[in-house]
Structure formats: structure tokens, C-alpha cells
Structure 1
Amino acid sequence: MSHESTFFFSDTLPLGLVPKARGAGSNASGRFERLARETFLDGWDAEVEAKTLGTTTVDERPKKIITRNDSPDIPFDRSINPYRGCEHGCSYCFARPTHAYLGLSAGLDFETRLTRKVGAAEVLARELSAKGYEVAPIAMGTNTDPYQPIEARDRIMRGILEVLRDHNHPLTITTKGTLIERDIDILAPMARKGLVQVGISITTLGSRLSRQMEPRAPVPARRLKTIRALSDAGIPTHVMAAPMIPALTDHELEAILTAAAAHGARSAAFIMLRLPLEVAPLFEEWLETHVPDRAKRVMNRVRELRGGKLNDPRFGKRMKGEGEWAELMAKRFEIALTRTGLARKGPGLRTDLFAVPPKPGDQLSLF
């Protein structure tokens, strides 16, 4: 079942179409596709009209919902993503290449042709109830944002949280979405049990730059208010200064941490920009469109951080980079932590409270 079927199938933009409020400026074929199509302006249209592309969602009924990983770069071994693709449309998003596995583009398809995992809560409950399941924190928002705009309608994340709450299962959430405030009624009681930590991503404090890079994400000032709302509710909140874009936003590292601390954040981290696969040409296209005076400088600095390449996938290098600029960022971050009083990581989450809730008709224990 699909909704709002207004997406298009061409690999580049249809004739006369310039997308408004979208992060990508093109829609090149995925890397696994054999054919590529191209459109062009033939001179018949005197003007190119800016238009807004609609968003289409398609349902997927997953057989399993927990994804496992063994990466040494990230502090969790399991995650859940309620959606494929992300309507926030961040121009730099490292998850864009995953859309190629669906036969879609990492460009506009990634932010306009979304998949929602219906029945995710029921599948999760089954997985958590499986014999031999060993509890550890589940990370949410690791690939696409669980609080992107369509969550307001679909409430898939809400259903997942209800299952985790009922099982006393620990989790972490990373988001740019202020919609998370809707779920404080679930998250605050879990926080009192030591079961949850939330990370809010902030790339820049500039609202104009944010609107250009992250067109459908809440502006930074609004995200800071979300940090305050979560903190006031007793939910441990972590600020992710990510990604730090060299020669464009990296000078804001200290300001971001300072603002987050003032709004109640307890801990912080930063990640340097990385441009895997299709993300590199998409982001370079974005730079040439929005900040052409800095485009070459940004890309050259990225290469300095990545050993002369635009991406370095090696474990231990991909999150922070290497070389003098990477070392300088790491030192600045340490000094900023000291000045703001932010911790490097949040409190540990409890796993000893986990229990599968009884089903109707189950015999309860006498003890």
C-alpha cells in the first residue's frame, strides 16, 4: 500500500523541475542499476519553475526488526530503524547509499520515496520474547531518523517504544526531530529506571545554513528547546555535533556544545563529515549550488582528513579522520568538554530490569 503517490521515476530531474525544500539536487541512478536516464532543458520553457516534490511511502512487513552489527566504531551491537529513507533530506547524510539496495537513487529518491516498516512493534515483541534473547541497549536512529515528519502520522516509533517500555528494555535514540517530545510520557518513566538516553544532532547553529543543508529538519534553535524539554523531564540528553563539516561548520563546535550545555545536555560527541559512495557527488553538488565560494576549500579539507580521498571507511578513522586537522578538532573538543562541564558519554543503561511481560492467560509466579 502506498500513499501520496507523487514521486517520479526519472534518474535526473524532470524537465523544468527544481526541487524546493529538498537536500539533494539530482536523482542519479543507484550504483547497482544497469541503465541511467537523463533529461535536459530543450529551450521550449522560458523559465524553470521551482516546484515541491511530494513524499511517497510504501509499506514493508519485516520478518525481523533488530539489526545486528559488530563495528568497533560504534558503542552498540543492535539497532532498529522504523523507516528506510529520510524526509529530513540532509544533504550530507551517510545513509543515502543504502537506498541503492532498493533499486532507488541516493539523491531525491532517498528523501521522497520512503519505506515504513508496518507491524514493527509486533515483530519486536516476538524477537524480545524469543528463548535465549540476551538483553543489551538497542540504538534507534542509527541510519534514518525515527522522528522524521511521517512519524507524526504513522506512529511506528511510538509503537516500538511501547514494546520496549513493557519489557523494561534499555535503548538509545539519536534524532533531529522535535517530535520526540510527544513521547516524553514513555521516555521519562524509562529514564527514571535508567533505561534510556537521547542524543540530539546539531550540525550548525545557523538557521539559514540549516535550512539549506537539512531542509525538512527542525531549525537548530528548536532542537535546543527539545534538549531543554527532555532534560527537564529527567531524560539524560546527549548532543551530537555531527557532522562537523570542515571549512563550513567546524568553527561552530564550541558554540554548539556551549548552547547544548546551557539547555541541559549532560554529554557530547562529535563526528567529522564522511562522504561514502554516492554521497560525495551529491554533497559536492550541494556545495556548488549553495556555497560556491567555499566548495573547493571544503572538498580539499575533506581530502586532507581522509588521506587524499573523499572517504576512508577504515574502522577507527571514518568517524574522526586523521592528520593535523583531525588532531586539532579532537583537542578543541576536549577543551570544550572541560569548559562546558559536559561528559564524554552518558550514564550507563540498566539491563537487569528486562523481563518479558506476561500474556493474557499466562500463569503468574507466586513469588
Structure 2
Amino acid sequence: MASQNIFRRAAPENHIFRNEEALFPDFLPEQLPGREHEIKELVYCLQPAAEKRQPEHALLVGPPGTGKTSTARFVLKELTEYSQRPLPLYINCWEYSSRFAIFTMLADALGEFLPRRGIAADEVFSRIVEIAKKEERVPIIILDEVDRLESTQEGIQVLYDLCRASEVHSLKTGVIAITNDEQFNTRLDNRIRSSFIQHTLKFSAYGVPQLKEILIQRAEIAFMPDALDKDVAPLCAAMAFKRGGDARVALALLLSAGKAAERENAPRVLIQHVRKVEEQTLHSAAVSKAERKLPEMDEVDARIVELAKEAGKSGIESGVLYSKMKRLVGERALRNRIDALEKSGIIVAEDKQLSQGRTRVIRVKE
């Protein structure tokens, strides 16, 4: 007798999820609880674009998982539904940081598909200006993780080109820059800094009530009716609050708990499922930010993060780290690299007193 198909055997009897994508970090809901003020301010900045006037640039600053990117995407979606003049473009600067890459993406959004070689970035930008003016479009560019651009002169030039496009080229353009680094704007050239002075929106970490509201809103979309115990969302919210009020952590916990319940063929997601996935989910959330950036790091930075990740929660002592990396980098240069990665919010380096002296313990930031 033929055996039953392995996927048919594995199919859950109890269907818990209706649309689990609602718990993904890039899911954009119809409302953003706890960000009403920030939405209102950003609407004010971008409203002129609908009337072919110069929008105000905005800098969105705050810890990870506080809704900066979602707020920018939400407002931009609403703007483009309201008017066809704005030309929306989202760019993650860790993935695209060169002038040519960013300008090519903007040209693509305008429908101008240019060769990837044999054309200079300045020429691409000239074509963008020409086409946008002709079609009376107002580019609105989200530069997510914009602090990546300040590490090179080319990146700084991109900021200048976009922020000063109205003055230099008479091209009405809006820039929404997003960063976790509250000191980012203070390090910029005065010509760029002035663009963000009037509209720097600070996003505070979510509190437990806000996190709970976010989870309940998403859960209504993600789960089947009565598939979630009433105490699960508050528990996930409390755990995420202890990890800095990061909504992505709260969503990851709820998704993982749902998966655990589904795997057990349970009819509902219970507190026990949250407890079961707590340690692994929180650790995965801590390293995910660093892992996303590894492809864009050079060999030295990537190796530091990899070794810190391998060391887990206990971290790796600076002396041990140096012994593993001395063929790649000198001791002083390694200290500078560690400081830079800590400043970027990727790792944490804590001083520790040992019997033979002081050392630093490096681990991936949670």
C-alpha cells in the first residue's frame, strides 16, 4: 500500500494563521498606533509636493524598531494615492550607497533605463533633472540608514546633490533621511545640516501599551478568530519593552510563538508557546541587524561581527579577538574598528576588570 504523502501528513489540522505576513517587519498596516504626531509632522513636510511646490526635507531619528521606516513609507503611500505628482523612491543605504547606484534607481523610477556601464553619475543626475522637470514630477526619496552615506565623500555628495537639488538645479525634491544615530546631523556639512534643522522628528521607544496595541492590530489580520490567547500579546509586548521597546522584536516573538503552536498542532497560541521560543527569538533578533549589514562591510568589520556572534551572549574578550584577527589588522586599528561598530549600534563593547587587568568584552547588540 502506498504511503501517505509526507506533506499531507505534516499539514496542520488546526489552522492558526490567516495571513502571517501581517507579522513581518516590512508589512505596512492601514494604521500606525502611537505615531500619530510623527505622521502629522511628515504630512506637513511633504504636502507641498502634491502642488508641485518644494517639500521640506525631514530627518527621522530614533532607536531601532520605533516605526521610522514604516511611518515614512505610510505617509509616502498616502501622498502618492492623493496626487500623481510625487515620485516615491525607497533606498536602503546599506544596500545602495554609491552616487551611481542611487541615481540609477531614481532614473529607473522615472522610467529612464540607463546602461549600467559607460555613463557617469553626473550624467545620470542630469538626465533625472531633465526628465523630472519635463514631466513635472517631484521626487520624494527615503534614505533609510542614511548614516551609511557619511562614511565616504561620495555618500556625502549624494546627500548634497539631493538636498540642494532645488537650489542648484531648480528641481523640487524631498528627502526623508532615517537613522538610529541621534548625532548624525551634527556631523554633517553645514550645507546639508541646514536642510534638516527645522524638521528633525525624534522617535521614542514604544511603551508596553503601544506595543500591545500594535500586536493586537496585527494579530487580527495574522491569526484566525480565537486562535490567540488573550495573555499572549501583553507578554510579547512586555518582553519587547525590556529589549528597548523594539516593535520588530515584539512581532518576531508573536510570529515565532504562532509557528510553535502550529508545529504542535495546537488550536490556540498560548503563553507556553511564547516561553518556548523566547530565548532563540530574542537572540536572533539581536544578531539580525548585524547580519543584514555583513555583505556591505569590509573584511575586517565583517570578521569582528562574525566572531562576536559566534561568542553568543557571553561575548568575546578584546585580547582573544585580536589574537584571531592580528593577521588582518593591528591592535590600535582594531580598537578603532570596534569603536566605530559600537557607534553604529551593531555591537556593544563593555569594560571588564580581570585579575591581570582590564579588557573589553564585545558582543552583538541586542
Q: TM-score, normalised by structure 1?
A: 0.28
Q: Which has the higher contact order (CA 8 A, sep 6+)?
A: 2
Q: Counting helix residues as a fraction of each chain, which structure ranks higher?
A: 2
Q: TM-score, normalised by structure 2?
A: 0.29
Greater gyration radius: 2
